[in-house]
Amino acid sequence: MPALLAAILLLIAFPYLFTQPFLQRTMILVVMWSVLGLAWNFLGGYAGQVSFGHAIFFGLGAYTSTYLFIEYGVSPWLGMIAGAVVAVIVSAIIGWPSFRLAGHYFAIATIAAGEIFAIIFRNWKAVGGAVGIYLPIVRGDKLSNFQFHDSKIGYYYIILAMLGLAALTTYALERNRVGYYLKAIREDPDAARSLGINVTLYKMYAMALSAAFTAIVGAFYAQFVLYISPNTVFALNISIQMALVAILGGTGTLAGPIIGAAILIPMAEYTRVYLGGRAGGLHLVVYGLLIMIISVYQPGGLMAIYNQWRRKETAQKMQQAADAASAAREG
Amino acid sequence: MSPEVTLLVQSLVSGLLIGFVFSLLSVGLTLIFGVMDIVNFAHGEHLMLAMYLTFWMWFLWGIDPLLSLPVVAIALFILGVLTYKVLIKYVLDAPMLAQIFVTFGLMIFLRSLAQVLWSEDYRRIGDTWVSGRIEIAGIFIGLPQLVAAIGAVITTGLLYLFLKKTRTGWALEATAENKEVAGLMGIDAERMFALAWGLGLASVGVAGALLATFNPISPEVGAIFVLVTFVAVALGGFGSVPGAFVAGIIIGVVQVLGGFLWEPRFKTVLVYAIYLGVVFIRPQGLFGQR
């Protein structure tokens, strides 16, 4: 518990302790991908439906808020909510027929759906087509603008707040009946169904939650980078990376996606900047290797390894205490 | 023939030719799934490796792709067996998520490795024994594409004969049908699994060598073909070799015809729409059993 408090305090104080722009930017990305990982986790970790198409919701969030902002002057804060709504509706349309597909069929279907969206937006002239959209620059660095130019600190705290929201939601889900149902569905859908759980309905809940959070981050991304295009926000790579951070860190856990992001993103940024060029992909080589190793030895990811270690430690300590007690009695 | 009809027939022929290559790719994927229920998400990357191998043998030592084809096929066979023994074997009894993650991780690993080692640049193989094109009744057919199609059909045919006419082939099919009972009959499931992976990737090897004669090669090339392969396997029925063969041809024709009749940039949407249509309307595909 104290370690957790210290970590939270460190997170809050970060931009004032580390003022170098590169560090701040990297940290913003780490937090952003933590939220994305947690969002993916709702569907993939808790409901057990592996999706490689989440970029759909990311892009929908980005495009919805941007379009509303440019065409109708709607504040990106409201646009973000609108993006989440659109994403939830789309997730319901996609999810409803897809959920009876088993594991890998569903995964492939999400890849297909993701690519379809990318192609549609690449050819949709009204929203910029393949060229994308440049967001208008709004000066003033006011929170209500959702744009900051003199420093990145505003962005950092916004995304940190989103992380807090996602973490709290995950925490609540863990202790809620809905969370238990989802985990039951993940472990054995048929058994869950025989207990009377409406499997499809709860999967839809998980999907909606997942889509909404992803879309919100998408809107944030649009405001952060100030340029969106189908190749950046609907990219398969985004879907893949969302799954990567959650899988490595540990699906179905709260800390997992955060740890996954904390490892992958700095690795990605540093290899990109310091190695550059071709070797810039080195972090993915390492990541792929780690995923393979994790899948074979501990599909639960790093969190599961950590929990296993904790249990062994506790068992060892209890054994030591028992030994000491019996020795004391006999001695 | 009028120009429109000529173009239509041209598209049909093109689609057919590439469809045969899709068939070969799909047969490899469906074989692995049929025998052990594992979807090889890295299938496209294995194709990419085969194409790079063909390329480097041509670039470094001037070996024509048709000559290196058997070498590539054998190399991929060995890679398949290795992949099984080092990786897949350990997730056979793991939850499906672990099985998905392992080949997914392999996909990321191989693709990124290719990017780091050979860069994103597109490579092309220049003059080969099959460069050029022929003309039949006003229809132009690229020689590499024709040879690739013929090679694909021959390989698929050989594979099919192997499965249906040899004892090992029967053993493979028996293991696919019921691993335990096959084991009771004295069939070593381990060897069959390794064999499935070997044969599956060998098919990809052949397809890769053939494709390399006309298709550009890059770390991304796997991703381009793998989605089409998944669709074909689903359409044909997961686990069915004849199904994969037929479906590959259908997809090839639909893709090219769709691009010609509708819009080239939407032909991929058409293919994905086929996948979604198949899994929602007829999940077992054309010839599948599940």
Interatomic CA distance for residues A46 and A56, integer angstroms: 20
Locate tokens 């729409």: which residue?
B273
Same domain, residue pair A295 and A311: no
Closest C-alpha among B88, B40, B13, B43 to residue B225: B43
Is A177 part of a structural domain of the chain?
yes
Is A7 part of a structural domain of the chain?
no
In the three-class reduction of DSSP (H, G, I as helix; E, B as strand; rest coil), residue B258 is classed as helix
Contact list in B for residue A294 (CB cut-off 8 A) is 101, 105
pLDDT in tens, chain B (290 residues): 678 888 888 888 989 999 999 999 999 999 998 888 888 999 999 999 999 999 999 999 988 888 999 999 999 999 999 999 999 988 888 877 788 889 988 998 999 999 889 988 898 888 888 788 888 877 888 888 899 999 999 999 999 999 889 988 888 888 888 888 888 888 888 889 999 999 999 999 999 999 999 999 999 888 888 888 988 988 888 888 899 999 999 999 988 888 888 877 777 788 888 888 887 787 777 777 64
Same domain, residue pair A227 and A311: no
Are the beta carbons of A299 and B101 separated by less than 8 Å? yes
Is A103 part of a structural domain of the chain?
yes
Res. A83: pLDDT tops 90: yes
Which residues, at least 6 apart from A327, have a Cβ–Cβ distance to it below 8 Å? Answer: none
DSSP conformational letter for B129: T
Contact list in A for residue B112 (CB cut-off 8 A) is 281-282, 284-285, 287-288
Mean pLDDT value across residues A229-256: 89
Residue of A nearest to B267 (CA): A119
Same domain, residue pair A31 and A163: yes
Tokens linked to A284 = 């993915």
Instruction: Give the number of domains in chain A.
Output: 2
Nearest-CB residue to A112 (from B39, B96, B276): B276
Same domain, residue pair A113 and A235: yes
CA dihedral B265, B52, A53, B244 (to 10 degrees): 80
Q: How many CB pairs under 8 A join A and B?
A: 123
Is A63 part of a structural domain of the chain?
yes
The verdict on B262 touching A (C-beta cutoff 8 Å) is no
For residue A202, what are the domain limits? 19-299
Nearest-CB residue to A285 (from B87, B95, B113): B113
Is A6 part of a structural domain of the chain?
no
Is A255 part of a structural domain of the chain?
yes
Same domain, residue pair A314 and A177: no
Say what the pLDDT of residue A294 is. 84
Q: Mind listing the domains of chain B with CATH numbers?
A: 9-121+147-281 (1.10.3470)
Same domain, residue pair A331 and A266: no
Whether B76 and B201 have beta carbons less than 8 Å apart is answered as: yes
User: Looking at the DSSP assignment, which residues form a beta bridge with residue B141?
Assistant: B134
Residue of B nearest to A186 (CA): B97
What's the sign of the alpha-carbon dihedral A191, A197, A198, A201? negative
Same domain, residue pair A55 and A122: yes
Contact list in B for residue A50 (CB cut-off 8 A) is 97, 100
Say what the pLDDT of residue A276 is. 65
Same domain, residue pair A208 and A328: no
Locate tokens 């209890």: which residue?
A318
Same domain, residue pair A164 and A270: yes
**Interfacial B residues in 94-113 facing A (CB < 8 Å):** 94-102, 104-113
Is A186 part of a structural domain of the chain?
yes
Dump pLDDT digits (tens) for A268-288. 888 777 776 666 678 888 888
Contact list in B for residue A49 (CB cut-off 8 A) is none
Q: Report CA A166 to chain centroid distance, whole Å.
A: 9
Distance from CA of A56 to the nearest CA of B (A): 15
> What is the CATH classification number for the domain harbouring A203?
1.10.3470
Mean pLDDT value across residues A221-244: 91
Same domain, residue pair A32 and A136: yes
Same domain, residue pair A325 and A232: no
Contact list in B for residue A236 (CB cut-off 8 A) is 223
CA distances from A279 to A59, A283, A285 (A): 28, 8, 10
Is A13 part of a structural domain of the chain?
no
Entry pTM? 0.86
Same domain, residue pair A232 and A191: yes
